[in-house]
């Protein structure tokens, strides 16, 4: 498997624990935006996803995505999916 560490640029929001999701729901109220420059943030995420697809193809295995928070994930059908990796 390949590994990519994305910080907060790409995180699996749907994989957050209920507590983390509740905490993250406060961000829009505490800040004007979670991104300083939304267009730039979107472009960065697209580039990261492009790199992940290149790693997937090169290794013929899913690239594991380690975001700044949330579960270790991989891309399946263009969506981030929680990777069940412990004990395997």
Q: What is the spatial distance between Cα 22 and Cα 9, in angstroms, rounded to a whole number?
A: 19
pLDDT at 30: 76
Does the predicted model carry a pTM greater than 0.85?
no
Question: What is the rounded (10 degree) CA torsion for 74, 76, 78, 83?
Answer: -30
Domain boundaries, the chain: 3-82
pLDDT at 32: 65
pLDDT at 27: 73
| Residue-wise pLDDT tens digits, 3-51 | 999 998 999 988 888 898 888 788 777 776 666 788 998 999 999 999 9
- pLDDT > 90? residue 79: yes
């Amino acid at each position: 498997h390949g590994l990519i560490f994305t910080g907060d640029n790409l995180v699996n929001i749907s994989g957050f624990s209920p507590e983390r999701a509740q905490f993250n729901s406060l961000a829009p109220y505490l800040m004007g935006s979670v991104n300083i420059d939304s267009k730039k943030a979107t472009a960065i995420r697209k580039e990261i996803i492009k790199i992940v697809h290149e790693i997937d193809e090169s290794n013929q295995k899913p690239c594991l995505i380690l975001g700044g928070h949330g579960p270790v994930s991989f891309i399946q059908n263009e969506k981030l999916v929680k990777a069940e990796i412990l004990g395997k």
